[in-house]
A = this chain, B = another copy of it.
Amino acid sequence: MARTAGSHSDVTGPRVRAAALRLFAKSGYAAVSMRSIAAEVGVQVGALYNYTPDKQSLLFDLMRSHLEDLLERAGPGEGEAAERLAGFVSFHIRYHHDRQDAVFIAYMELRNLSEENFQVIEGLRRRYEDLLEEILAAGVAEGRFDIADTRIATRAVIAMLTGVSTWFRESGRLTLEDVETQYRKMVLNAVRV
């Protein structure tokens, strides 16, 4: 039954992507072969090529779908900038905390994208940064935030928030809510008048 199901690309696709994500995160893109991905999925390597033309496309798909999903879920928020910023902080921490492999790859494997693919990924990343920068600019316009350069502040906030996914563990002494609360406070204090 597994073999029959595996022959349909709508079933194989998610399994291929999950296997590739796992292997890229574990060993790095350059050290992973199409053959090892096929073995991880439990199909012949030929079956893999029904789903994806090559390893580069697989990496690009993983990064693109990660960012597109992120953009789809991230809203501009409503209300005053301070409230929207707090919402952004919570969203970012919650979205990334159980996607460590995707976060790791998004940062680590940029160097392995073709130039054309890199430009697409950078464009998506920039759109996500723009969401936050717009909130920061709105806060400045309201006279509530004091920020010399909103692009720098955007990068600082995103780096700070993404860092959570590298150390937060459910089994640790703090809940995700504790972490979220403290980050909301730090971020708001960092930018407000």
Contacts and interface: CB of A to CB of B under 8 A. Distances in A.
A157 B108 CA distance: 21
A125 B187 CA distance: 24
A178 interface: yes
Contacts of A182: 148-149, 152-153, 156
A31 interface: yes
Interface residues of A, number: 38
A179 interface: yes
Nearest to A185: B148
A159 B186 CA distance: 13
Interface in A124-175: 148-149, 152-153, 155-160, 162-164, 166-167, 174
A106 to B, nearest CB: 12
A29 interface: yes
A30 interface: yes
Contact of A159 (B28, B29, B160, B174): B160
A192 interface: yes
Contacts of A28: 27-31, 108
B190 A174 contact: no
Contact of A108 (B108, B156, B190, B191): B108
17 contacts: A27-B30, A30-B30, A31-B31, A104-B108, A107-B107, A148-B178, A148-B182, A148-B185, A149-B174, A153-B182, A155-B163, A156-B186, A159-B166, A160-B160, A186-B190, A189-B191, A190-B190
